[in-house]
Amino acid sequence: MNKDILEHLTFLYGAETAVQLLPKFAEKIEAVRPQQPTRVAFFDEKDSVLITYGDQVQAPGEAPLKTLAHFCAEKLDGRIQTIHLLPFYPYSSDDGFSVIDYKAVDPALGSWEDVASFRDSFQLMFDAVINHISAKSHWFQGYLNGDPDYEDFFVAVDPQTDLSAVFRPRALPLLTPFQTKSGTRYLWTTFSEDQIDLNYANPNVLLAVLDTLLFYVAQGATTIRLDAIGFMWKEIGTRCLNLPQTHRIIQLMRSVLDEVAPQVVLITETNVPHEENISYFGNGRNEAQMVYNFSLPPLLLYTFHSGNAQQLAEWASTLELPSERVTFFNFCASHDGIGLTPARGILSDAQIEAMAARVRRLGGYVSYKANGDGTQAAYELNINYLNALGVPGANESEELMARRFLASQAIMLALRGVPGIYFHSLFGSQNWHEGVQQTGRNRSINRQKFQRDALEQELTSGLRQLVFSGYSHLLRLRTNEKAFHPVGEQQILNLHPAVFAVLRSHQGEAVLCLQNVSSRGVQIELPLTGRDLVTGTAVPTKLTLAPYQITWIKPS
């Protein structure tokens, strides 16, 4: 293992520095090496992840993390295996993604004991927000005050430097001036002036971050999400995105975790075009075990807007895995918006603009990024996914809204990979415009928090009840069918332009998943007969699918 670490360090910092660094890394690793062998991470059809904020569900007089743990144990037993707790650390902005202290729990949410209480019923995914850190963090304050322990922890750049090649995910200045003990420094701030990018060209930063990851493992994380990881290495004159050094750092992290915590899965969050995104699988064994399938949300949305599944099917037919040790993290919605960059090159600019215009008419927002030539481009759609599927100006019934939404989610559940389900999707939420008014941030439209009593009452009837009960039914079906194994076979079938059809199989078992993506009934001829898992009824070879109907057929 030390040989692998040395090779990675040499690539990053040169041979001489790598030799000097190796004992420090080895010491860190030996300090946490388990006494007994630990199982290697693996996937199965029972894998599914709920994405949620730590204070998503609240009750008077109780720590929100404790309330959420009780709520999830009661509502999700047998349906969800892993809870992804979005950043629950002390923070100063961006709803948790500007971390003040990586190793503390925000007292407003609870304690490490409350985090551990989830482990009675679920596995846990933690966020490693390690591209940047809060301006109010001890690390950054130490840097400002000239503390030698934090020297060169951040990226200082001459403001006259030509940075036009840098990929910008925000229409904001890239450099922010700060007064330090040594004078004014212009520091790299990819996302905001409160989120200061870390300098991985300084090996002490990498060592400190590795220490943080190992701490999360000790606290029970079985999956670690590497947030905004594509931006972590800076090299003037390049896009500063997805650079070879970034891949090497992830390979180093994987080498360390494979040695001391092989049960832990790394998942990369890289909201970039598909081919760049899947590069984080590495060779299938040396980087992330999962990557976010970022192209799925916008492509799926376009599919339902158009009532035509052909472009989605063409793209899905290209989804190959480099090994049986990795898979996709399939999702439709998250705490962020619907990213558009991963759809570029698959959908035309005109199709993307039409989708953005429709989202505006549905009460959503469009966020923009800065291009190198000074122009702006649509970067993200901010809207609840259920509302995003709607028809502008239509007075639709809750039953229709639920049926259409569940058809979209059924496609996500059917595809090869592990499904990631945002809390608001599972529980049938809609746009929260009041949140946008309160915060002034577009992303707040999909970040509403709940009082437990009120949410449980809403789940007894109406849209929330229709969505939650329907979603729960699909999850139960999925967990009981080996064909849905995350690395099982996947064949896309062309049965009708309005029907997304995928045949899943694994170890001799199969399920044919049909989803009508249109508002009209369609007739299709099937290549097999069997039983519909959704309704429990026999399915003939000639079948009529109602609008937005879901049919999962187990061959007879």
Q: What is the DSSP string of 314-382?
A: HHHTT---SSTT-EEEEES--SS-EESGGGBTTB-HHHHHHHHHHHHHTT-EEEEEE-TTS-EEEEEEE
Rounded to whole angstroms, the Cα distance separating 487 from 505 reads 10
Rounded to whole angstroms, the Cα distance separating 133 from 154 reads 10
Q: Are 123 and 82 in contact (CB under 8 A)?
A: yes
Cα–chain center distance at 376: 25
Rounded to whole angstroms, the Cα distance separating 324 from 488 reads 9
Q: Are 494 and 476 in contact (CB under 8 A)?
A: no
Question: Which of 391, 291, 300, 385 has the alpha carbon at shortest distance from 334?
Answer: 385
Q: Which two tokens stand for residue 529?
A: 């007969």
Question: Which of 219, 324, 209, 204 has the alpha carbon at shortest distance from 261?
Answer: 219
Rounded to whole angstroms, the Cα distance separating 414 from 512 reads 9
Cα–chain center distance at 552: 26
Active site residue 127: no
Structure-token match 């369609």, residue found: 522
Phi-psi region of 168 (alpha: psi -120 to 50; beta: other; left: phi over 0): beta
Rounded to whole angstroms, the Cα distance separating 219 from 9 reads 27
- Burial, 6: exposed, middle or buried (Cβ in 10 Å; 0-12, 13-18, 19+)? middle
Q: Other C-beta atoms within 10 Å of 35: how many?
A: 5
Rounded to whole angstroms, the Cα distance separating 47 from 217 reads 19
| DSSP H or E stretch at residue 407 | helix 398-414
Compute the half-sphere exposure of residue 110: CA atoms within 13 Å on the CB side of its CA: 26
Question: Which of 267, 151, 285 has the alpha carbon at shortest distance from 208?
Answer: 151
Cα–chain center distance at 360: 24
Pairing of strands 49-52, 418-422: parallel
* Cα–Cα distances in angstroms (integers) from residue 519 to residues 313, 407, 548, in the given order: 18, 11, 6
The active-site residue, picked from 106, 127, 197, 227, is: 227
Q: What is the DSSP string of 36-58?
A: S--PPP---TT--EEEE-TTSEE
Q: Which two tokens stand for residue 307?
A: 């009532």
Question: Which of 495, 499, 494 has the alpha carbon at shortest distance from 548?
Answer: 499
Active site residues: 227
